[in-house]
Amino acid sequence: MAGNPPKRKVSRSNTRSRRAQWKAEAPTLVKTVENGKTVYSRPHQAKVVTDSQGTELFLEYKGRKVADV
């Protein structure tokens, strides 16, 4: 269901100043060290586990397998 129609025209400057408040945020990253390499990953997200050739094997979360790829 749509809201009520506007009572009056919104000026261009008001529209643009409102839109200017929307800003992209940098994703939060967690720094971990795995096998001597520093890895940055997003918190609370499953990680793709790969073998030595780079083939994706499964998804892992908190050290447990959660899904097949």
45 in Cβ contact with 57 (< 8 Å): no
pLDDT-based confidence at residue 1 (cuts at 50, 70, 90): low
Two tokens, residue 48: 């793709």
Q: Where are the domains of the chain?
A: 28-68
Q: Whole-prediction pTM value?
A: 0.47
- Name the β-bridge partners of 68: 58
46 in Cβ contact with 57 (< 8 Å): no
Q: Among 39, 40, 47, which Cα is nearest to 67's?
A: 47
13-69 pLDDT, tens per residue? 998 998 888 889 988 998 988 788 898 888 888 888 888 898 999 999 888 999 988
